[in-house]
C-alpha cells in the first residue's frame, strides 16, 4: 500500500480510482478480486483500482466511515463520487460505474 501522500496524489489525478476496502478475515471480501478483474478488463486504463486493508489502514477506514466490508469507493479528482457496501457482481457493477468514469 502506498503512503498517505501518494494516495492523495493518486486520488487527485485525472483518472478515477476505485478503492476496494477489505479485511483479510472477511469471507465475502474474497469474492471481490475476480469481479474487479472483470471491471478492470472492461475499463482498462480509464480506471485505477486499489485495495486497502482496513485493519492496516484504520485511520482511512475511520475517515471514510467504513462500517462493513467489502466496501467499494469511487473517487474522481479527489472527491468521493460513489460508494457501495457488499459484494456486487460485475454485470451489475460495470453499468453502475460506466456513467461515472
For the annotated catalytic residues, the residue numbers are: 26, 29
Give the Cα separation of 58 and 12 in Å (integer). Answer: 21
CA distances from 28 to 85, 87, 100 (A): 11, 7, 25
Letter string b/e over residues 19-50, b meaning 16 or more CB atoms within 10 A of that residue's CB: bbbbbeebeebeebeebbeebeeebeeebbbb
Amino acid at each position: 500500500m502506498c503512503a498517505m501522500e501518494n494516495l492523495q496524489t493518486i486520488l487527485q489525478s485525472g483518472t478515477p480510482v476505485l478503492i476496494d476496502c477489505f479485511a483479510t478475515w472477511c469471507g465475502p471480501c474474497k469474492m471481490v478480486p475476480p469481479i474487479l478483474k472483470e471491471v478492470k478488463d472492461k475499463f482498462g486504463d480509464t480506471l485505477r483500482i486499489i485495495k486497502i486493508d482496513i485493519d492496516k489502514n484504520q485511520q482511512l477506514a475511520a475517515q471514510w466511515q467504513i462500517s462493513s466490508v467489502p466496501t467499494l469507493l469511487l473517487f474522481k479528482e479527489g472527491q468521493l463520487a460513489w460508494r457501495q457496501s457488499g459484494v456486487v457482481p460485475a454485470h451489475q457493477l460495470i453499468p453502475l460505474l460506466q456513467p461515472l468514469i
